[in-house]
Amino acid sequence: MLSGGRSMSIRWLRIPERFALFLWLLFLAVILACGSSETATPGAATSSTGPTPRPRSTSTAPAPAPAPTMMPTKTPEADPKPAGTLNIGQKELGPYQGHPKLSGNPQIFLNQVISAENLVMHSAESSSEFLPMLAESWSLSDDNLSWTFKLRKGIQFHQGFGEMTAEDVLWSFDQIIESAKHPGSSDVARMWQHPDGSRETPDPYTIVLNTGVPAIDVLNRIRNPWAGSTWVASKKQSDELGEEESNNRTALTGPWVFSEAETAQFWKFQAVDSHWRKTPFFKELVLWDIPEESARVAGFQTGQLDTFTMSFDSIPTVEAVPGTEFMSVPGGGESHLGLYGSSYVGLGTDDQRPNFNPDLPWISPTDDVNSPEWEPARKVRQALAISIDREAIVSNLLRGFGKPGVMWGWLGNEDKLDPDMSWEFDPEKAKQLLDEAGYTGDKRFTLTLTPSIRGAPGEVEACEAVSQMWADIGIDVKLQNLPYSTLRPTLIARTYEGITCHATSPRVEPFLGYTNWWSHAANWYAGVEHPWLEENMPKATTLFDADERWAAQQEVGRFLFDNALDIGLYGFDVIWPLSSNVESWLDHIRLGDTRNINGMEWAKPR
């Protein structure tokens, strides 16, 4: 059934040398598992995204302007001494990395949910509510320019590198700004190194940040967890050991301390005794790198894994394992199509992007949206959008645990879009649009479609379905499957000339994702850059009045939709299976970015 969790003791391969035996056991289990016909039945629809098991509400209300804040944190409970091992199967780990300057994703996100901490954290009740984490309080000046953060005293870094102070915080953020891998480095710089701003540390536990211009999204970049957020590491460790060595064994502040790793095999962590926030119940946490869904399922069936990143079509097989229960969060993420090559900034200058290619059918040769030259590519983009049967994807691939999407960033705020803003499935009209754009025949043109493999439900399968739907209207689709660590550098360098199926966390408000579409976002962009967006997208980040901010966001949404510059696919729920070895910790999962599970310090063996 779909709800919480139960327990039984687990036997695990605790040393890397026995990993080959583990794979052999997984192979046997896959064979034994074939033929299972028992199927999970989704519960009654209780969330905005579909029939979600054990639902919990995620807020879809507008994020209020952050007021001066002093919020108490509960005193950690007196827990029994940590014992046992919690084993989690992941799609991709890569080598362990933890240094703020050198880490990329998936390492950033995995550290965020395990061993790293930030100034503020999402609550377990609402994605728009921030609670104190390393900062015990914060306040904002009347002119909306100066933020004062009061840090907790006595927070200790792992491995004996001393107490965390304001110096470590500012150093960590500066390292992220210098990073060639962090997706939000330019955004952090906009707030924490603004040319008209300033930073002061009146004492080791106080930071006064002047952002130069009003920035309502300051807390957004210093929240935990989020794959695009900051975190705090030890400056002393990096000074003494150097960046590379620190990157391989980073001293952080969270409830789990890094122990050891084998690339393409596992990351291992140990519980921090008497942690300031929450001492874990389990003594050891191990993430296992298992790219194949069938192998992760088999590991769960044989008792080798306590939970894992799971495709929804595995629910019937997983549900048949005795004692299995599920944790779920509705609206945990959203997927869209990134139309790469749509880089309309700097055309005809030295700043023109290398992937701007008007020979691609969805790319116009001009940035003038009112010109005749703009129209053919716009019609191609519209055809791509309306030839996708989103209801079928949600029903069949997501098993009802999701809902159709319109544009990236609007999940949960669709009611603020104009009524005509939706992509109605109409393959015949799509063919007509392609004919009008000059692409006729049974093989109209060829495009490359690449899923961003980052652990989201159905990310590969949905991309394959989109590929088939486009083939049905005469498009020759070259489906390209490759590791995200290989794809991402080509996106950042603006050299990729295809379309991606890309899943992200939901935004409380759309503008919190718009920074990924600015040309100054050196380490990430969502596929589209346009002069109109450059001028109008930043407006919302400076507006503390909710009505004014939403008006600015709606204007941007209208532009994106009318020109089909962003194509939403679907929003999805997040579901994690639990073995009978572990109790559910659903009430302690921090909302905001739940694409990967968090709060493992609250997981309790039974």
pLDDT at 77: 53
Q: Which whole number is the average pLDDT over 95-110?
A: 91
Query: Is 371:361 a contact under the CB 8 Å cutoff?
Result: no
User: Of 80, 128, 104, whose CA–CA distance to 271 is shortest?
Assistant: 80
Query: What confidence tens digit (pLDDT) does each residue in 249-307 have?
Result: 999 999 999 999 999 999 999 999 999 999 999 999 999 999 999 999 999 999 999 99
Residue with the bigger pLDDT between 3 and 577: it is: 577
Give percent of the chain above pLDDT 70. Answer: 86
- Cα-based torsion angle of the residue sequence 485, 596, 341, 362 in order, rounded to the nearest 10 degrees: 130
Query: Is 89:296 a contact under the CB 8 Å cutoff?
Result: yes
Task: pLDDT band for 485, please (50, 70, 90 cuts).
Answer: confident
Residue with the bigger pLDDT between 381 and 488: it is: 381
Q: Which two tokens stand for residue 16?
A: 């890397």
Question: Among the listed ranges 505-519, 526-540, 543-557, which one has the minimum average pLDDT value?
Answer: 505-519
**Domains of the chain, first to last:** 16-35+66-324+579-602 (3.40.190.10), 332-573 (3.10.105.10)
Query: What confidence tens digit (pLDDT) does each residue in 208-227 have?
Result: 999 999 999 999 999 999 87
Task: pLDDT band for 40, please (50, 70, 90 cuts).
Answer: very low
Measured CA to CA, the distance from residue 346 to residue 490 in angstroms comes to 19
Query: What confidence tens digit (pLDDT) does each residue in 499-521 have?
Result: 999 998 888 899 888 777 777 76
369: number of Cβ within 10 Å: 17
pLDDT at 269: 98
The Cα-based distances of 450 to 98, 342, 361, 443, 490 in angstroms read 28, 16, 17, 20, 12
Q: Is the pLDDT of residue 34 over 80?
A: no
Q: Which two tokens stand for residue 518?
A: 């600015």
Q: Which whole number is the average pLDDT over 447-457?
A: 89
Sheet order of strands, 85-90 included: 256-262, 266-271, 284-289, 85-90, 307-308
Q: Is the pLDDT of residue 67 over 60?
A: no
Measured CA to CA, the distance from residue 460 to residue 510 in angstroms comes to 25
Give percent of the chain above pLDDT 90. Answer: 70
Q: Which two tokens stand for residue 434?
A: 């392609």
- How many angstroms from the chain centroid is the CA of residue 46? 24
571: number of Cβ within 10 Å: 28
Q: Is the pLDDT of residue 408 over 60?
A: yes
